[in-house]
Structures are given as structure tokens and as C-alpha cells.
Structure 1
Amino acid sequence: MADYFRPLVQIDPARPEGAMSLAGGWGWFSHVEVLSRARAAKVISAADLPKSALDALTTTRAPIAGLALDRPRVMGILNATPDSFSDGGRHADPQVAVEAGMAMRAAGVDMLDVGGESTRPGADTVPEGEEIDRIVPVIAGLRAAGTGAISIDTRKAAVAEAAVGAGANLVNDVAALTFDPALAPFCAARELPVCVMHAQGDPATMQRDPRYDDVVLDVYDYLADRIAALEAQGIARHNIIADPGIGFGKTLEHNLALLARLSLFHSLGVPILLGASRKRFIGTIGGGEAGADRAPGSIAVALAALSHGIQFLRVHDVAQTIQAIALYRAAMAGKQI
């Protein structure tokens, strides 16, 4: 049985001699938790890691879509849909969506993630022509207004091609480029960065009694397999982001297990994105029936993820999250960063 290596990430300013920097970011580690399907977990010194495992954890991650990953990056959610679970279709009008995106940009967002198909539990597939009609005016409007990095949240090659033509420069696929067999070749040909997410089932069925042997290791293995498959199709590893898919075919207990051991996913050797914003489990634990009432809990989960060295946070409440990150980093470092 394979061993899995999870760095026990520290942010503390008192760093012991010999501690290893994590992925060129703000965290460090001196020990790792060794996980296995065959035996109990144990903690060992980082100095005892196999070289390949240590390299995967310590190699500086390359910039993605022009963004260096030496600090946390915030991806703002911009749903150009009439049926989003979180905002009830507030941005279905393209002009409203563009204005909302520019407001996020003014607040300091690093990337905008534009989507034209809801992936909430129970959602049906949207025809690609309709999805294109929703997202192209928004992306074109954002690009004309001079915004920075733009991601297209889609499972479909035709939508991705239209989005890239309008100005998007990253593809974020909740199906990890398995829904449409034409999507990976398109991204490879254009040398586009991609974000691959784990989901059990599709949005219409994913919350119907999801089960795992070991949710943390099962999700890890899936993402490792998808990264290898995409590399084989011509997408460079340095152009891949991995997302464990909080809330996508997972119970509350599954989500919490993943959050507790998020740092394991650094062993994939790619940047990690967390998209937990306003998810149902936040309302269950912290209160907040409506998605908009879950901002404090969402920010708490985001800051916990930063303690694991997670590079990207996909969020709805951009200005509040950016403020929280600034104070979190200053408090942990003892100085303004």
C-alpha cells in the first residue's frame, strides 16, 4: 500500500533550523504525517521523506495566469446564471455582472471566475449555446474594462473556446475535464492553465448518499490520476491547479475530514484551490439559512485553509475575505505584510 505525506504546516515566525519551505509560499514544515490505507497514521521528520515526496512539497509553484503564488490569491465568484444557490441570479444581467466584477476588482480580487451553468446540488445541464450567451458578454465586458485574470467555470469545450475568445485565460472545470472529451485537447493546444476539481457524480446526482472508503485518500488519488491523465494529453503540470471539491458529492463529515487534512494535497506538486464559500455545511454548523448569511463562516474556513498553505481561495465575499487575509497574515507575522 502506498504512503501519503501530509506536511504539518506552520506559519509561526519562530522557525527552527532545517525547516522546509512549503511550495515557495508562506508556510514551512519540519514534520509530516504519513497516511496509509493499511496502517495507522504516524508523524515523521521531514528530513526522513523520500526525495520525490520532499521535492513535490518544497518546489516553488510556477505563476498561474500571471499570478505569482508566494502569497494567497483570491478568486471572486461571478455567476452569470438565473439560478445560483448563493445569489439567486443577481448577476444574470450582463451589465450587472460586469459592474459586480469591477467592484470585486476594485476590492483587490486576483481573478474573476465567470460561470454560466449552475453546479448547485440538483442542477441540470445547460445547453452550450445558452451557456455561451450568458458568459461571453460578461467576459468581454470585463476585459474591455481592463480587469485582470479571468477564469471560465465550465465543463464544455465550446464554452471554453468562446470564453477564451472573449478574454478568459484559465479554465475551471468541476468535472476535472472528464465531461467533454474535447476540452483537454483544446486547453493543451492553447497552453491554458486549468483547475481540476474532484466531484462524486454530477451536479444533478452528487448529493444522493455519497460514500468513500477514505474520503481524504480517495479524493487525493482521483486528483493524482487526473493530473497524470492531463499531462499525458499535453497539459503541463505547472499549468494545473487542483481542487478537492468541498460540497461536491460529500457529506458534512466528508467536508470536515478534507478540511482537517488539506495540506496533504500539496503532495500533488501543484497549487491548490479551496472553494468552500457559502456551502451548506457552513450554515449547518454556524447558522445561516441563506447563502449570504454564511460570510463569517466562509471566511473562517478560508483562514483555516491559509494555515494549510492553500494558494487559491474561491469566494463570494471578496472585500471581506481580502480584509480578513490581510489581518490574518499581519497577526501571524507580527508585522504588516
Structure 2
Amino acid sequence: MEYLDFELPIKELEEQLEKCALIGQESDVDVTQTCKQIEKKLAATKKDIYKNLTAWQRVQLSRHPNRPYTLDYINAICGDTFLELHGDRNVKDDKAMIGGLGKIDDQSFMFIGQQKGYNTKTRQYRNFGMANPEGYRKALRLMKSAEKFGVPVVSIIDTPGAYPGLEAEERGQGEAIARNILEMTRLKVPIIVVIIGEGASGGALGIGVGDKVLMLENTWYSVISPESCSSILWRSWEFKEQAAEALKLTAKDMKKQKIIDEIVKEPLGGAHANRPETFLTVKDSILKAFDEFKNLSPTELVDQRMEKYSQMGVFKG
């Protein structure tokens, strides 16, 4: 188990609890009462820490190395019904963007999302979850296929941004993202977006237009990362905590600004603390969201989606 800097008090208490249990096993001393006291203190400490998280601490939790990624959610929710589809039919298959058909209960969905790696090798293979233009074009191809066969789309967002390399710009990174945003606004099937980790910049927006946008509690969604914002405004990464607060990038901030529709609660300690519970909560949230839109006609669906996004940023004096 890996701990973040603000989780160190939890680590200390868990180590104390482990030692206490070990003493009880290796000797005749009754340590039941002591263990109970430590457990009680541990529960109170966890509650206190996770109840008062800052914006930067939530950013750290969204990047936790043990946090589940897109394929973890898809495999847990769909089981062996998921069929991954590859390629943009133009350049190549982008490993940072995955997609395919899967079933939740008896309902088919087209899943798309960014995939990060678990270690150095897979992180390089997945390009750290940063998609190239062909990744966004693959996503669009799959969404268009879903539209053709009347299959709803589930878009899962977890990216530090679209890939900023020279070759990506040469192949039209900006155009690919803009095209996806345009096409998603008028797609004739329900689109459910779930932000499970980092939602950074155009990399997230490229698959982020939806009828229902769900955001896990300890995730962030912003035009820029706190580090990049800090380096631009203060010429240093040292002010990333202030930048995170100023950007208003947490789920609570996004809900308040009506950028997202719903916050999905995470287990105490984050999504990685209890994966089965997290997967079940996300599954239920997707099905609940789909129920809202499944009976709407394509025209009603598109009109409602366009109206939703037209209202963003509108303030009446």
C-alpha cells in the first residue's frame, strides 16, 4: 500500500495496529482492548483527513498509483462481455485511447476512454494516457458505429491531457479534438461521461461532451493542470497548491458551476481503498443515467444536449 504525504498519520496508526495484532499472536498477552482503541482512533483519523481534503490533495488522490483505470472499470462492470475494437482506419491504433462494445446486465454500451499504465513499461505503451489525433479519431469512429446501431455511449475520462508532441500537431491534434466536440453534440444516442481520475484540458474535452456528466468525488476537471498553471503564472511549480484552489477544479466546484451533473461518492480513502464498492457505484450510476435518456427520441436527445451546453457560462444580472 502506498501513502500520500497527508495520509502519513493513517500509515502510522495502521502500522501500530499491525504490530499490536502481531504481539497478540506471538504471546499470551491479551491485546484486544488496545487493538480496539487503535482501530477507533484510525477510523476517526481517516474520517477527519478525508472529510477536509484540499483541492491539491484531491488532485493527488486522482493520481494515486493504486487507483483503478479505465480498463479496470470496464472489466469489472462488463466482465467477459467486453470486446475491444482497434484503429482509426487512417493512421494506426492509439494505445492511450481504448474502446469497444460491452454489456452492463442486458444493455449494450459502446465504451471509450483513456487508459494509463501500471508500471514503466505499460505507461510508455499507453503513452501515459495522452492520446494522439488517431486516438480521438478512433473514438469518433466508434461513436459513429454506436449511433448507426442505436447503442448508447459511455465515455470514461482519465488523462493529463492530449499528447503535445510535434507529430501529434502535424497530424491535426486540435482539429481532431474540435471535430469530436462537434460530432458529440449532435450524436443521436445517449452519451454518459464518467470522470474517474484526471480531466485535463482538451484531452478530456475530446471525449467529454455528454447528456450526463458524472464525476467521481476525488477527481479534477480543468482547462490546465495545477502544475502548468503555477509554472505560467508564477514561473515555478512551487505554487501548485494555490493554483489548484484558484482553478476551482474539484467535483464540488464543477457541480456548483453546473459543468457536471452529478458527483459519484467514493469509499473512504478514495476509489482504490475499496475497488469492488467503487465499481458497483459507477455501474449503478451509469444505469441510472441511461434510464433518464433511453426513452427520448434522437431529436429530443440532441436538442436537450445542445440546450444544456448552451446554458454553460450564461449569467443573468
TM-score range (shorter-chain normalised) is: 0.3 to 0.5
TM-score (norm 2): 0.34
TM-score (norm 1): 0.33
* Larger RCO, structures 1/2 (Cα 8 Å, 6+ apart): 1
- Higher radius of gyration, 1 or 2: 2
